[in-house]
Amino acid sequence: MFERIDIDSLELNPFSTIGTDDFLVTAGDGESWNTMTAGWGFFGVMWSKPSFAIVVRDSRHTYGFLERSAGFTASFFPPEYRKALQFCGAHSGRDTDKAAATGLTPIVVEGPEGLDLVTFEQANMVFCCSKASRTVLDPSQFIDAGIEKHYPKKDYHTLYIGYIDQVLVREE
Ligand SMILES: Cc1cc2nc3c(=O)[nH]c(=O)nc-3n(C[C@H](O)[C@H](O)[C@H](O)COP(=O)(O)O)c2cc1C
């Protein structure tokens, strides 16, 4: 149902792909996982490897899964799943079964070295990543004072950079 594509063949605008469409960050394995909507992140090259970076506040249920997992997926969806993504960004996996509520169907994809990752059948593009680093954003390092307005509760994001092990796209 998914085909693995060469990352060099990707043709997309990173600003609209991430900035307009949002995506699901999913961590955990087939037994236990959680997903949440993300609107911020970026991809490019880090430490000479294709990489995908996400930022997750420690108040998110997904945060604990990310901390315990060796990897994560960043999954993008066709426009008809906008409501499902809104739902996953407005409810917590602590008290909601997001798959049951949205109809999204979790599937396990195999990463390198036995790394099991979770994405969803309905995704049309999935970045499968191994965690390379985590960095808690430190407000004393903010140069733009305006950034602080994003943190009235002081729940600063943790920046996770993942190496992109594979990119999957839905087969036609
Ligand atoms: C469009 C949109 C984008 C979001 N982007 C992020 C993000 O990049 N980082 C983050 O920590 N939370 C983000 N959120 C908030 C989480 O998705 C939301 O708090 C979610 O309910 C967390 O679920 P969880 O507790 O199951 O992890 C976003 C929410 C929406 C609706």
- Please indicate whether residue 36, judged by its CB atom, sits closer than 6 Å to ligand 1: yes
Looking at residue 22, its pLDDT comes to 93
Give the position of tokens 């004393």: 140
Judge residue 34's burial from the number of C-beta atoms within 10 Å of its C-beta, 0-12 exposed, 13-18 middle, 19 or more buried: buried
* Ligand 1, atom 11, residue with closest C-alpha: 56
Q: What is the whole-number distance in angstroms between the Cα of residue 127 and the centre of ligand 1?
A: 18
- Asked if 165 contacts 4 with a C-beta cutoff of 8 angstroms, the reply is no
pLDDT at residue number 113: 86
Residue pair 128/168 in contact by the 8 Å Cβ criterion: yes
Confidence of residue 90 (pLDDT cuts 50, 70, 90): very high
Q: Cβ(98)–Cβ(56) under 8 Å?
A: no
For 169, other C-beta atoms within 10 Å of its C-beta total 16
What atom in ligand 1 is closest to the CA of residue 57?
A: 11
Of 53, 35, 34, 33, the closest CA to residue 43 belongs to 53
| Predicted pLDDT of residue 20 | 85
Average pLDDT over residues 74-84: 97
pLDDT tens digit string along 91-140? 999 999 999 999 999 999 998 888 999 999 999 999 999 999 999 999 99
Q: Where are the domains of the chain?
A: 2-170
Q: What does the alpha-carbon distance between residue 164 and residue 162 come to, in Å, rounded to a whole number?
A: 6
**Model confidence at 172: pLDDT above 80:** no
Is the entire prediction scored with pTM above 0.85?
A: yes
Residue found under tokens 């808690």:
136
Residues, the chain: 172
* Residue with CA at minimum distance from ligand 1 atom 17: 89
Region 2-170: CATH code: 2.30.110.10
Q: What is the pLDDT of residues 18-62, one digit of tens each?
A: 888 899 999 999 999 999 999 999 999 999 999 999 999 999 999
User: Would you state the pLDDT for residue 114?
Assistant: 87
DSSP run (H or E) holding 25: strand 23-28
33: tokens are: 């996982």
CA of 74 to the centre of ligand 1 (A): 13
Residue 69's pLDDT is 96
**pLDDT attached to residue 171:** 87
